A and B are shown apart, each in its own frame.
Chain A
């Protein structure tokens, strides 16, 4: 009893001196969201840009912020470090590259995500998906292939230095569907 209490205590007083610790442990990464530290950075990452219903974009869309699209986009969308949400009114005819893609609207084109693709109820994808995790809800439409080979996405990405521990925490808050796999296949990069 006593020993257990003592063991639990160091976690709370450790907070004031936490700044001097190297934040490399997974524990530190998990604890981070509960603390009100580094507000500017976190605030920037969480801000989501919306493209409204009446907006039509033809061409290439690049960015480093989370994006929600309710309008129409034709061409190419690249948000390699961020979450892309295609809203229920979104109509996309494009190649899509993002960290995570949540689809509630319609996508025609190939979707590549380094973390997860989530096709929600009434979402629709006509194209090939490349992502280590794919969740397709009941009632969603999908036509194409799904490449879930671990490491398949990294081969295609031109700049994906994602070394920050933030990515691990954001993926775990995604909807149920599938669980993270524990084992990575040995022949991950093998092409067939």
Chain B
């Protein structure tokens, strides 16, 4: 009884400390707070008209609903992880870079925001700059790009899909597909690759993921 009273002001028996802890108990899919995502949303919210958004990840229903509710935007799903997987299975990863110039139907400077997630970690050396060139082409002045970059290379890593929990946190969920090796890009390589964009924000998370927000000067 007394112990119940003493506990009253603090943490309750079933109450988790963090969302991550909550997910760990509920099934192991970690919820990770994101520093860059709220800034990405803020930047899109400042657009004068409903924004045009490109998502390089797989389609996630709750993300679609989130963007519809929050931004009322036009969303293009361009699942590059599926492309990667298809080429990896066919053994034609070297040809992936060549597909990018014709892959996207967006006009020059027509997109307000691009969600790259961690696709650049997986891309072969020739494909990463080719995709960056397309990002630069599509992005309108004032547009923003969000990407996640690992800090150390991994010989083989599964794909993750990033489900939006709220404005500040993402659930990292396993994603169908073979995955692949992850290459750690140096900061200078990222800056060089996206020449023409400025690094608006960069965060190193506790899980050693760099969240980088790039912006095209308006």
Partner of B77, one of A145, A150, A178: A145
Render B59-93 as a binary contact track against A, CB cut-off 8 A, 1 for contact: 11100110111011111110100000000000000
B110: Cβ under 8 A from any A Cβ: yes
Structural contact, B72 and A140, CB atoms closer than 8 A: no
Structural contact, A187 and B75, CB atoms closer than 8 A: no
Structural contact, A146 and B50, CB atoms closer than 8 A: no
Structural contact, B65 and A144, CB atoms closer than 8 A: no
- From B49, B52, B64, name the one whose CB has the most chain A CB atoms within 10 angstroms: B64
Partner of B64, one of A134, A143, A149, A181: A134
In whole Å, how far is A180's beta carbon from the nearest beta carbon of chain B? 9
A75: Cβ under 8 A from any B Cβ: no
Decide: A146 near B72, CB < 8 A? Known: A136-B59, A192-B52: no
Main secondary structure of the interface of B (DSSP, over half): mixed
A17: Cβ under 8 A from any B Cβ: no
B48: Cβ under 8 A from any A Cβ: yes
Decide: A148 near B49, CB < 8 A? Known: A134-B68, A137-B61, A192-B110: no
Interface residues on B, range: 20 to 34
Structural contact, A136 and B49, CB atoms closer than 8 A: no
Question: How far is it, in angstroms, between the C-alpha of A146 and the C-alpha of B71 when the chains are bound?
Answer: 12
- Which residues of chain A (128-156) have a CB below 8 Å from chain B? 132-138, 140-150, 152
How many chain A residues have a CB neighbour from B under 8 Å?
30
CB closest residue in chain A, given B60: A136
CB closest residue in chain B, given A190: B49
Structural contact, B67 and A148, CB atoms closer than 8 A: yes
Structural contact, A144 and B77, CB atoms closer than 8 A: yes
Decide: A187 near B49, CB < 8 A? Known: A132-B68, A148-B67: yes
Structural contact, B72 and A145, CB atoms closer than 8 A: no
Render A158-192 as a binary contact track against B, CB cut-off 8 A, 1 for contact: 00000000000000000001110100110110101
CB closest residue in chain B, given A141: B59
In whole Å, how far is B133's beta carbon from the nearest beta carbon of chain A? 22
Decide: A148 near B75, CB < 8 A? Known: A135-B65, A178-B69, A187-B50: yes
Decide: A181 near B69, CB < 8 A? Known: A135-B61, A187-B50: yes
Question: How far is it, in angstroms, between the C-alpha of A149 and the C-alpha of B52 when the chains are bound?
Answer: 10
Structural contact, A145 and B75, CB atoms closer than 8 A: yes
- Which residues of chain A (62-96) have a CB below 8 Å from chain B? none
In whole Å, how far is B52's beta carbon from the nearest beta carbon of chain A? 6
Question: How far is it, in angstroms, between the C-alpha of A154 and the C-alpha of B72 when the chains are bound?
Answer: 15
Report B-chain residues with C-beta under 8 Å of the C-beta of A143: 59, 77, 79
Decide: A149 near B69, CB < 8 A? Known: A135-B61, A136-B64: no
Given A149-B50, A185-B72, 11 further pairs, Cβ under 8 A? A119-B61, A138-B61, A144-B76, A145-B74, A148-B74, A152-B74, A178-B69, A185-B50, A188-B50, A190-B50, A192-B74
Q: Which A residues are closer than 8 A to B by beta carbons?
A: 119, 132-138, 140-150, 152, 177-179, 181, 184-185, 187-188, 190, 192
